[in-house]
Amino acid sequence: MTRCGTVALAGRPNVGKSTLLNALVGEHLAIVAPKPQSTRMPVIGLLTRDDAQFIFTDSPGLLEPEYKLHEAMRAAALRAIADAEVIAYLHPLAEYPAPPLAQVARLDKPPRAPVVTVYTKADLASPRPDVLSVSAVTGAGLDALLAALREHMPESPFHYDPDELATQPMRFFAAEFIREAAFEQLHEELPYSVACEIDEFREGAEPVYIRAVIYVERDSQKGIVIGEGGRAIKALGAAARVKIETLLGQRVFLDLHVKVLPKWRRHEPSLKRLGYVTP
Ligand SMILES: Nc1nc2c(ncn2[C@@H]2O[C@H](COP(=O)(O)OP(=O)(O)O)[C@@H](O)[C@H]2O)c(=O)[nH]1
Ligand SMILES: [Mg+2]
């Protein structure tokens, strides 16, 4: 009998959830940034190894909401925990020991699913023999982690083709990679004001034609994103295009536009339109 189930990667912002998802799946699916709170929506990654199929969900970090977008992010993180068959609770090894997940997530009651505590960024701390630790950078500990998770996975037929890595549509990843480029190229708080919407995704074309809108919250931000003579938006678009082409395996023409959606992070209808589900 095979095993198959969902594994939620949970933990505070910046503990390495997205990087670990990518390392496990072997493909850059989830966006990663040195700044916290880059992940806003769950990203699903699949790994089928021997008799086990792992359905990993990367989700936003568990945080105290400061505005409406954060409420949507926290709700998504809590849903991922509630829906999981196994919870991989991530915490940096350098900050050993991890506080209880229920405390970090402010859960009323302990989660239904078994919790496997995983210490991350092991390459940055001295080793500890008594805990499960991984480094997404060196790959150390990943096989042991999979073995530990497998023990908790229900017996079940596979839900997906063993060759599949992702379940979400390419337009989702396109929007995410544009945001990732924004996190790389824009400074300070500006990436947090960036949202992205794909207006058109023409697969039949060669190169694939993608029309995307970057939303910011104020006119002054729009000026910065575009930059002098359009230089900033050009560089951002070029970086995002390469990321999209890598996952898609096809050449892309990225037609990028910048618009202002005033205070969208605090505005329920704007959040809804951008696909963020508030509780
Ligand atoms: N040295 C090292 N850095 C890591 C590791 N995993 C993640 N990071 C870095 O930690 C930061 C946050 O990672 P990310 O995956 O975005 O964290 P998330 O917010 O929990 O999803 C990024 O700068 C990553 O490059 C690791 O295993 N080793
Ligand atoms: Mg993340």
Q: Are strands 195-202 and 208-216 parallel, antiparallel or unpaired?
A: antiparallel
279 has a pLDDT exceeding 90: no
d(C-alpha 252, C-alpha 101), whole Å:
42
- 168-207 pLDDT per residue, tens: 999 999 999 999 999 999 999 999 999 999 999 999 889 9
pLDDT tens track for 158-174: 999 999 999 999 999 99
What global pTM score does this model have? 0.97
Give the pLDDT confidence score for residue 157 in this predicted structure: 98
pLDDT, tens only, 1-40 = 999 999 999 999 999 999 999 999 999 999 999 999 999 9
Q: Which residues of 93-114 are buried (b: 16+ CB within 10 A; e: fewer)?
A: beeeebeebeebbeeeeebebe
What's the residue count for the chain? 279
Closest protein CA for atom 2 of ligand 1:
121
Residues at CB less than 6 angstroms from ligand 1:
13-19, 32-34, 36, 38-39, 61, 120-121, 123-124, 135-137
DSSP, residue by residue, 138-168:
T-TTHHHHHHHHHHTSPB---SS-TT--B-S
Distance CA(39)–CA(232), nearest Å, equals 23
Distance 233 CA to ligand 2 centre (A): 24
The pLDDT tens digits for 65-91 are: 999 999 999 999 999 999 999 999 999
Rounded CA gap, 237 and 243, in Å?
10
Contact 15, 90 (CB under 8 A): yes
Return the SS3 of 31: coil
Query: 240: closest CA among 202, 203, 198?
Result: 198
* Nearest ligand 1 atom to alpha carbon 136: 27
| Ligand number, closest to the Cα atom of 62 | 1
CB atoms within 10 A of CB 177: 26
Decide if pLDDT at 278 tops 90.
no
Q: Is the pLDDT of residue 210 over 90?
A: yes
Q: How far is CA 105 from CA 42, 45, 101, 272, in A?
A: 16, 23, 6, 24
Distance (angstroms) between ligand 1 centre and the Cα of 174 equals 21
- What is the whole-number distance in angstroms between the Cα of residue 165 and the centre of ligand 2? 18
The token pair that represents 51 in the structure block: 């008799």
Nearest in space to 58 (alpha carbons), one of 70, 46, 66, 71:
46
Ligand closest in space to the Cα of 125? 1
Task: Find, among 128, 214, 233, 142, the residue nearest to 175 by Cα.
Answer: 214
CA of 199 from ligand 1 middle (Å) equals 31
Contacts of 175 (CB under 8 A, 6+ apart): 196, 197, 198, 212
Say whether pLDDT at 126 is over 90. Answer: yes
- Ligand 2 center from residue 30 Cα (angstroms): 7
